[in-house]
Structure 1
Amino acid sequence: MASHIPRFTKAYAVREQAALMAKSRPHPLHVSNNEELRYRIPTSGEPSHIGSYTKGLPHDRNTGVLSNPDDFQSFIRAMDAGDQFSIRDVPLGPQNEQQAFQSGIAKGVSARAWESMAAGLTYDLEGPDAQSVTMPPAPALDSDELLTEVTELYWMALLRDVPFSEFNGDKNNDIQEAVDSLNSTPWVQIAKNGVVPTTLTDAERVRLRGPFTVDNVFRGTTRGDRDGPYLSQFMLIGNTGIGNGNRIEDGFIRYGAHRVDQRVRVAEMGRDFMTTWSAFVDVQNGADVRGREVYNNDVRYRFISTPRDLATYVHFDALYQAYLNACLILLGMRVPFDKGLPFQREDDIDHQQTFATFGAPHILSLVTEVATRALKAVRFQKFNVHRRLRPEAVGGLLHRYMQETTNDLYRGAKQLAENLDANLLDKVKRHNAKQNMKSDGDAPRANDLGECEDADEITLLPMAFPEGSPMHPSYGAGHATVAGACVTILKAFFDHGYELRMLDEDGETMIPFAFVPTADGSGLENRIGEYRNLTALTVEGELNKVCSNICIGRNWGGVHYFSDYRESIRVGEQVAIGLLEEQKLTYGENFSMTVPLFDGSVHRI
């Protein structure tokens, strides 16, 4: 007998059921690393906040720390209130002549505003609440873990122009030197020795890495990250397009009747920023020097070939861009869906095709939809919980400590400064000195000569972007949280164990592939035979890898740490799982999704 319950009553019941599911998720305790009030100004005893994110607040030009520690409390009140009036009351940028922008690159610019400070306080009608997911405390300023992370970031800055093709075997001595340097840090020694101290938290145990090799250094740690080339195929290949107009190795992705090229704009080789004290302080004071990077006009576009190319990609991407591309590539290759989804048999059997539900528009819209939820969740962690300082600020502390080792204002950097690889720091000094040399036209090469007493002793972290980091704290990472969420959606819909193959030149045999850019970056070539024990790349592995590529691409730019990436993808994963669980309540079909998670386990929806 047909039900006489009105449609609007049934619709309300479904919404109520989804709301109860969301309500049943426990809101966790959010815990920071307790550094905010730890470091003090010697003369006054007030907190210096050198272990916290303070970018955009007024900084003293000589010390590089806050001019007025009370400004930080105003910052916190605005974060917690989340209204536009409280945010407008926070001092932004230089407040007097002493703080004014002085570097050559910052002349005539205004201050940048903070980005979406209140987003973590908003509510959503679908998916986990922004505050129902959390992250463990970030590594502290004086921890062995941060020592490894900072060592890694300095090496990444020095190796930005080394082709990814050399991150394989013994092709580059500098990479091997970086491996040896990282392996000598106490944090990696723990993993190497295999005896994990009982004092480590569960989160720290998960983040332990090493020992490093040339084949795994600067890569992610999820399944598939270390299989085959450094770059995911989804960052390089395209699909065939209308009328088989392209080969996948042509690198064109079909967007309807249009096509989008996977090649990226090429930034000038060897050009880094924020390598003078004057430019560094200006950027900490919020100087808006975006758009002042320099590009190569001889080779304007190429496939991503170097870490600098990857940093350029993540400098301007639309956050979910790489995953939308991956989805279009998977759809174009007709990769099968998860076996638990309906309507996968022939039309004359199912009598229904997927489209609005369980089809391309459904998947593509979810990839973008989940990104907004992920951004709100990570904004709460950034602004309202952890407020972790960016890597560039750590470089500033290290630089000042090395110039004034007796000044207790910088004692929070003592552990790092005294244990960093001395040879690495010498390389950084030489690199920065080269950046700051005057050109033939007597104009600074990158920034200006700055105010340092000795231009050959600058240990600031060389940045790929003139403006350094975005105007929000480091932990968690927005790119990484969105990456975790979007990739989880794709792994839920597609057959994640499917092996990626293409037709050979004769159009007869399906062969595996692992494309890498040619030497000049103008094309792609299949080099799968160069990777030991690799028979084929899988959907899961390459989706995990594109996630890691984007996240670690931000590290190549100098704006994030490894732990930012590793913890944030798990937050994004939780957001995506929650969204899918609630959406499942709205469908009449009986179906399931089997989702491989970043920790190696499997979640079934």
Structure 2
Amino acid sequence: MAEERRQNALEIRIQAAKLAKKRDHPTHKANGDEDRYPETLIGSFTKGLPHEKETGLLSNPADFADFVRAINTGAIKDMRRLKLGIDEDPRFISGIASKGDKHPFADTRAWESMAAGLTYDLEGPDAQAVTMPPAPKLDSDELVTEITESYWMALLRDVPFTEFERDGNTAAAAASISRTRWVQYNEQPSQRPSTLTDEEIARLRGPYTKKNVFRGVTNGENVGPYLSQFLLVGTKGIGDAQQVSDGYVQYGGMRMDQRVRVAVPKRDYMTTWASWLDVQNAGDLRGREIYDDDTPFRFITTPRDLATWVHFDALYQAYLNACIILLDIKAPFDPHIPFQADDDVDKQQGFATFGGPHILSLCTEVATRALKAVRFQKYNLHRRLRPEAIGGLVERFKKTNGDPKFAPVKKLVNDLDGDMLRRVEQHNCEQNKLSDDGHARREDYSPEGESSQSYLLPMAFPEGSPMHPSYGAGHATVAGACVTVLKAFFDHEYELDFCYVPTTDGKRLEKVNINEKLTVEGELNKLCANISIGRNWAGVHYYSDYFESIKVGEEIAIGILQEQKLTYGEDFFMTLPKFDGEKIRI
């Protein structure tokens, strides 16, 4: 028996390996910006390498070549040879990076997991067996829409989600984004360039209203409130210790509060040239943001709260919570999963397989594999610059009167909404008058003769984006993977019998009535978008990062579920509604 079991175990592993090998291994393709701008690498991710003080452009293209070489070899010795930041004294020049009462002089910040996309895995699609289409180019109409969206999101960070449909600035944002050429292509197909790819056409969107602006595009996104219930409600807990509206999620004998730490409203970062430049030169400004001690915690009420949530979340946290909530409300599993009949019929219950521990552990299992896949896309292929870098290019183009070095962004800047840029300039001017701890000060370096006004993208975090390229998005890829396994296990058509939103002060949840029912699929899709687009609210990602990355996560999760299915003795299947609306059977 032991030898037979041993042989069967080998055969199962071989079947899984053959299944993985049969999957198409796609051709990977970048957008070509690195080849178009080899002198400046103006369209590429260069954060962490040395940058010129006056222009903010890469100081030496050879540093970027070394960066790419280290990424592709994955050798620790090659990475340790890289030039991280500048060697000049002082290394950093902004007030926020300087020594103060609360924070020491800033240290440098290293890149994150550069070689993760080179690793192999023993389950699911190989990290290089999934791909993403080319990212929007620097001179594309799509990027104009994306950076317009980024600027407006920064300006609206403190508008409560429940006020979106009544807020005049939100209406102005929706109208501004809707006027961009990319959105007009969606309204007027005859005006589309013949060169648009199928992937680009799939990303066309809009027009926008106060109701649908800044939301995702999958099924259920526009039903009910902006925030998924899984980011707000809790469980009833042991002995019905609380109500779901109390917002406590039971973790064994403990509970976790859904309330989030509150950042001081109307405080943004990287709005001076000096602080922006320090961050590009690897300044580690993490932990220098300011929090509201008068209201330490509240339910997610504003986009700034959501940005704080995705600043510090344990990466699969939202989906683990969602799973616990679904189990607590006894949401049914997919009807084709075993052990759902009465106990006196099945004589067993799901647990290690087809039960709570099984699905809870899957949420964590798919997350790490999703991260490896997206790291290959980020580092080894696309190397897309972050939105904060686009803000720097807009700033220098506007302030240098058309310096030829910035010619590649001329179309982008000229196509941006002038009223929006005036609002950004005014917003940043107000930010730069502040001298509280955690802010850049007025005496920061700026190119000679310039005022405190800027067109930089106001950031929710002092350190700006993470130290890795923008496309794809790690949060979005993990969101796509985790939500996919939850939709596969739970009955995605099951309707929730509650709908809550935070009160204006965020201290409690209040029940609201809506015309349509919230479903498991819709609220999980919404959760996926909330977390993914929450990174956009912080200023660290673009819309296309979300749109394409969740599909990578979905593909990773489907592959894992397919291979794991080979290991069970039970005859079963799962039905899964994909993000594009297709329903498949696993």
> With structure 1 as the length reference, what TM-score do the two structures score?
0.94
The counterpart of 1:551, out of the listed 509, 522, 532, is 532
1:12 maps to a residue whose letter is L
Query: Which runs of structure 2 are paired with 1:362-401 in the superposition (5 Å)?
Result: 362-401=358-397
- Residue 191 (structure 1) shift: 1.1
TM-superposition CA deviations, 1:438-481 (whole Å, max 9, x none): 45x8x785454431433253000000000000000000000000
Cα displacement string for residues 269-302 of structure 1 (whole angstroms, at most 9, x for unaligned residues): 0000000001111000010010000000111100
Does residue 530 of structure 2 align to residue 539 of structure 1? no
Once residues 417 and 136 of structure 2 are traced to their aligned partners in structure 1, the CA distance between those partners, rounded to angstroms, is 19
Whether the 8 Å CA contact 2:259–2:297 is kept in 1: the answer is yes
Match of 1:568 among 526, 549, 566: 549
1:183 pairs with one of 154, 178, 186: 178
Aligned twin of 2:130: 133
Q: Which residue of 2 aligns with 1:102?
A: 93
- 1:81-480 alignment to 2 at 5 Å? 81-97=73-89, 100-107=91-98, 108-168=105-165, 171-195=166-190, 196-439=192-435, 445-450=439-444, 451-452=446-447, 453-480=449-476
Distance 2:222 2:68 in 1: 40
Selected match of 2:503 from 518, 522, 532: 518
Matches of 2:87 and 2:328 in 1, distance apart? 54
AA at the equivalent of 1:128: P
Cα distance in structure 1, aligned partners of 2:86 and 2:5: 59
Partner-residue secondary structure (3-state), 1:549? helix
Deviation digits for residues 108-155 of structure 1 (CA, Å, limit 9, x no counterpart): 111101000000000000110000000000001110000000000000
**Deviates most, 399-408 or 573-582:** 399-408
Correspondence for 2:6: 8
The change in CA–CA distance for 1:350 and 1:293 in structure 2 (over 3 A counts) is: same
What SS is found at the alignment partner of 2:107? coil
Contact 1:54 1:72 in 2 (8 A): yes
**Paired residue for 1:58?**
50
Specify the SS of the correspondent of 2:501: strand
Amino acid at match of 1:598: F
CA distance in 1, matches of 2:206, 2:457: 23
For 2:249, what is the secondary structure of its paired residue? strand
Q: Secondary structure at the match of 1:253?
A: strand
- Find the counterpart in structure 2 of residue 43 from structure 1: none
Query: 1:377-412 deviations in whole A, cap 9, x for unaligned?
Result: 000000000000000000001100011133111112
Contact 2:433 2:441 (C-alpha < 8 Å) held by counterparts: no
Unaligned stretches of 5+ in structure 1?
Answer: 41-46, 502-512
Check if 1:33 corresponds to 2:24. Answer: no
RMSD of aligned alpha carbons? 1.3
Structure 1 CA distance, aligned partners of 2:540 and 2:562?
33
Structure 2 counterpart of 1:75, one-letter code = F
CA distance in 2 between partners of 1:49 and 1:461 (Å): 20
**Percent of paired sites with the same residue:** 60
Partner SS, residue 516 of structure 1: strand
Q: 1:338 and 1:13 mapped to 2: Cα distance?
A: 28
Cα shift at 1:97: 3.4
CA contact (8 A) 2:272 2:452 kept: no
Q: Distance in 1 between matches of 2:361 and 2:534?
A: 25
Supply the AA of the counterpart residue of 1:306: T
Q: Secondary structure at the match of 1:595?
A: strand
Is contact 1:105-1:448 (8 Å) kept?
no
Instruction: Give the CA deviation at 1:95.
Output: 2.3
Aligned residues: 577
2:18 paired residue number: 20
1:29 and 1:324 map into 2 onto residues whose CA distance is: 34
TM normalised by structure 2 equals 0.97
Distance 1:234 1:444, change over 3 A: closer
8 Å Cα contact 1:391/1:561 also seen in 2: yes
State the partner residue of 2:102: none
Q: Aligned pair in 2 of structure 1 residues 419, 543: CA closer, same or farther (>3 Å)?
A: same
Q: Which residue of 2 aligns with 1:505?
A: none
